[in-house]
């Protein structure tokens, strides 16, 4: 008999909520958790059911997972008194190690996408601000499809919840500023289908430190408060104040057996020489959840490392065929879209050309109308001009007669003027002759005066010479001595002048030598400066190969997303409000400065021996 009965008085009302729908069923009282779970999976078309479970709040207000091997009504599921219904949530219970390789069905990817997105927005998974913006751009792509310039409107993204509240609170930025940055990355995304965008979202989200980790409060033998993180690859131990960076880790292939006794949890390791890994939980209920998650994650961990079952092979083949079919349809759609866009563009160009021709016809018609009006106007102007020409011709004849009369009068005046000028020139010439004769007479008079003065002076000089001649006999000896002294002084004076002139030339020569030496010094200094310039350019060349090596390394390591995140981090850094940063924000910044990430930390922790890691845990 089927567990899904038809008797209403005995059936159980069940409501199962997923992230995008609500399902209601009627179950028989003896229906097990597996029956309900299978019903949900069949209803939503899910075949990768091993990742999921049904979560509920029990009568003790504890969050629990529905056990598959027990009846639904026997698992302390709280019955809502209002409508007498059992409420469950369909969640991912276990997470894959690599979403791109393990998630097969589109519905599986979609459910993981919705759950991870909600966990990030509710801050159950810590996400750095710049990564939150990138993930938000993918979420928008899922919701609205590829970016379209025609349909996108400013403010379209403001209505939805796209960023965690912790991100928006720690930056002094308006919703419009956040939207602009999300839109920038949204525009950069290539056209993709919804499942491809969701996969890109999950590939980025799985690199977050808290992704896929179930945290439980524990203590070690020293009663140090710690966090136990159950993951797809093993168990991580975290400090009470740091859920990002594990202190130590144990992979599932290192663990042989897991058990608990009351609050004491014992993990037996594969290496028999290593003592058991023991910790203590806060209550028995948590131990049961830890054991359940450990068992499920361990089974999936081991199954991933075995050949795929026929069911999984079939699912992968179907998914591959479906993906190829979608790719063919997508290529066809893109081709048809391009053809449609080309047709639209051609139609737009034809309409534009037609409109242009219409404008030209309208302009030609207007020009023709204006030309007709202009012709009529010119005709009227021509008639007026003819009348004006006739009037002007009459006036011209009158003016010509008057001009002839004035010209005759002008000629008469010119003749009279010429005669008058001739008379004036004759008078000027007569005056000039009189002036010249007068000047000659004055010159002769002056010459006679000068001759008279010269004669008087000659007479005086003759008298003086006569007196001098009379006295020359007495002074002859004295004059001889004076003449010799004068010659000697002249010679000495010439020698002195020659001596003074020669040192001046020597000084000038020295000055020229100094200038030449100075020019040589300047030239040497310039040469030395050029050598220094050559050396400095050589130092610059030494750095170029290093830069090229870094760029080549970045290209080879495919860090495009990290570079984009770093760019956005730099853009929003000036708007950060330091006092609004949480402890996780501070720890994340320290991680970035240290150059660490989720995978490098786990790799370092796994490098130590199992024994050393157990000892480290016990000493915490």
- Per-residue burial over 130-141, b = 16 or more CB atoms within 10 Å of its CB, e = otherwise: bbbbbbbbbbbb
More confident residue, 36 or 593: 36
Q: Where do the DSSP E strands lie in 199-295?
A: 214-219, 225-230, 234-239, 242-251, 255-261, 264-269, 277-281
Beta strand segments in 78-171, E: 79-80, 85-92
Domain ranges of the chain: 12-92, 106-206, 211-306+582-619
Q: Between 139 and 8, whose confidence is greater? A: 139
Helix residue ranges per DSSP H, 244-309:
284-304
State whether residue 364 is helix, strand or coil.
helix
Question: Worst-scoring range by mean pLDDT, 138-142, 306-310, 351-355, 611-615?
Answer: 611-615
DSSP state, residue 146: S
Rounded-to-integer distance, Cα 461 and Cα 527, Å: 81
pLDDT for 81 equals: 66
pLDDT tier for residue 134 given thresholds of 50, 70 and 90: very high
- Band of residue 467 on the pLDDT scale cut at 50, 70, 90: confident
Pairing of strands 85-92, 12-17: parallel
Q: Which of 174-178, 362-366, 489-493, 536-540 is predicted with the least confidence, judged by mean pLDDT? A: 536-540
Tell me the fold of 106-206.
Acyl-CoA Binding Protein (1.20.80)
Q: Is residue 611 over pLDDT 90?
A: no
Which pair of tokens denotes residue 88? 């469950």
Q: What is the pLDDT of residue 9?
A: 52
Specify binding-site residues: 67-70, 288
Q: Coil, strand, or helix at residue 221?
A: coil
Q: What is the pLDDT of residues 317-343, one digit of tens each?
A: 888 888 888 888 878 878 887 898 889
Q: Among 214-223, 437-446, 470-479, whose mean pLDDT is lowest?
A: 470-479
Distances (CA, A) of 321 to 33, 49, 296, 324, 327: 33, 21, 30, 5, 10
Q: Would you identify the CATH topology of the domain 211-306+582-619?
A: PH-domain like (2.30.29)
Reduced to 3 states, what is the DSSP secondary structure of residue 211? coil
pLDDT of residue 475: 55
CA distance 291 to 369: 96
Answer yes or no: is pLDDT of 183 > 70. yes
> pLDDT above 90 covers what percent of the chain?
31
Residue 373 banded pLDDT, cuts 50, 70, 90: confident
Instruction: With H, G, I as helix, E, B as strand and everything else as coil, classify residue 601.
Output: helix
Question: What pLDDT digit, counting tens, does each position of 294-322 carry?
Answer: 999 999 999 999 998 898 888 888 888 88
What architecture does CATH give domain 12-92?
A: Roll (3.10)
**Distance, C-alpha 140 to centroid of its chain:** 21
Whether pLDDT at 489 is above 80: no
pTM of the model: 0.65
Residue 94 CA from chain centroid, whole number: 39
Does the pLDDT value for residue 88 go beyond 50? yes
Binning pLDDT at 50, 70 and 90, where does residue 559 land?
A: low
The pLDDT score that the predictor gives to residue 133 is: 93
Q: Per residue in 189-247, pLDDT tens?
A: 877 888 899 999 999 999 999 999 999 999 998 899 999 999 999 999 999 999 999 99
Q: What is the mean pLDDT of residues 593-600?
A: 83
């Amino acid at each position: 008999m089927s567990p899904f009965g038809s008797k209403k008085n005995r059936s159980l009302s069940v409501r199962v909520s997923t992230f995008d729908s609500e399902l209601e069923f009627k179950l028989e009282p003896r229906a097990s958790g597996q029956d309900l779970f299978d019903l949900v999976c069949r209803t939503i078309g899910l075949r990768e059911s091993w990742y999921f479970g049904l979560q509920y709040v029990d009568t003790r207000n504890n969050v629990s997972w529905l056990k598959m091997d027990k009846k639904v009504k026997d698992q302390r599921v709280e019955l809502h008194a209002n409508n007498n219904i059992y409420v469950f949530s369909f969640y991912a219970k276990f997470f894959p190690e690599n979403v791109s390789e393990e998630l097969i069905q589109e519905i599986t990817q979609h459910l993981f996408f919705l759950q991870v997105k909600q966990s990030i927005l509710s801050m159950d998974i810590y996400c750095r601000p710049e990564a939150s913006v990138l993930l938000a751009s993918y979420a928008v792509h899922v919701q609205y499809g590829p970016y379209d310039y025609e349909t996108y409107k400013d403010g379209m993204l403001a209505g939805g919840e796209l960023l965690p509240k912790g991100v928006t609170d720690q930056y002094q930025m308006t919703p419009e500023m956040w939207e602009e940055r999300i839109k920038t990355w949204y525009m950069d995304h290539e056209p993709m289908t919804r499942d491809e965008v969701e996969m890109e979202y999950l590939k980025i989200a799985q690199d977050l430190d808290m992704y896929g980790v179930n945290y439980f409060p524990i203590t070690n033998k020293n009663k140090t408060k710690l966090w136990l993180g159950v993951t797809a690859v093993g168990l991580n131990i975290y400090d009470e104040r740091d859920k990002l960076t594990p202190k130590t880790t144990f992979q599932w292939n290192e663990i042989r057996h897991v058990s608990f006794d009351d609050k004491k949890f014992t993990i037996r390791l594969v290496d028999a020489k290593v003592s058991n890994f023991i910790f203590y939980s806060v209550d028995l209920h948590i131990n049961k959840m830890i054991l359940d998650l450990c068992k499920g994650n361990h089974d999936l961990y081991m199954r991933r490392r075995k050949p795929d079952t026929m069911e999984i092979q079939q699912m992968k083949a179907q998914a591959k065929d479906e993906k190829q079919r979608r790719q063919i349809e997508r290529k066809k759609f893109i081709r048809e879209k391009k053809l449609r866009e080309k047709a639209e563009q051609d139609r737009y160009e034809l309409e534009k050309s037609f409109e242009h021709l219409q404008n030209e016809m309208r302009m030609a018609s207007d020009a023709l109308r204006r030309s007709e009006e202009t012709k009529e106007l010119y005709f009227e102007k021509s008639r007026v001009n003819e009348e004006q020409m006739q009037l002007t011709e009459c006036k011209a004849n009158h003016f010509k007669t008057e001009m002839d009369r004035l010209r005759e009068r002008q000629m008469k005046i010119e003749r009279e003027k010429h005669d008058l000028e001739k008379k004036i020139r004759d008078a000027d010439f007569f005056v000039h002759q009189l002036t010249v004769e007068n000047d000659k007479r004055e010159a002769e008079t002056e010459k006679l005066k000068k001759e008279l003065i010269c004669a008087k002076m000659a007479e005086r000089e003759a008298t003086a010479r006569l007196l001098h001649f009379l006295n020359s006999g007495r002074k002859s000896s004295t004059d001889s001595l004076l003449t010799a002294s004068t010659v000697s002084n002249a010679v000495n004076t010439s020698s002195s002048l020659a001596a003074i002139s020669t040192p001046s030339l020597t000084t000038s020569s020295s000055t020229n030598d100094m200038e030449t030496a100075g020019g040589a010094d300047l030239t040497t200094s310039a040469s030395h400066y050029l050598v220094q310039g050559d050396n400095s350019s050589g130092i610059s060349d030494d750095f170029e190969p290093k830069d090229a090596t870094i760029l080549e390394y970045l290209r080879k390591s495919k860090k495009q997303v990290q570079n984009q995140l770093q760019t956005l981090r730099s853009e929003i850094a000036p708007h950060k409000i330091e006092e609004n940063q949480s402890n996780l924000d501070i720890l994340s910044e320290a991680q970035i400065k240290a150059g660490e990430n989720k995978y490098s930390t786990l790799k370092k922790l796994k490098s130590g021996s199992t024994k050393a890691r157990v000892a480290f845990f016990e000493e915490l």
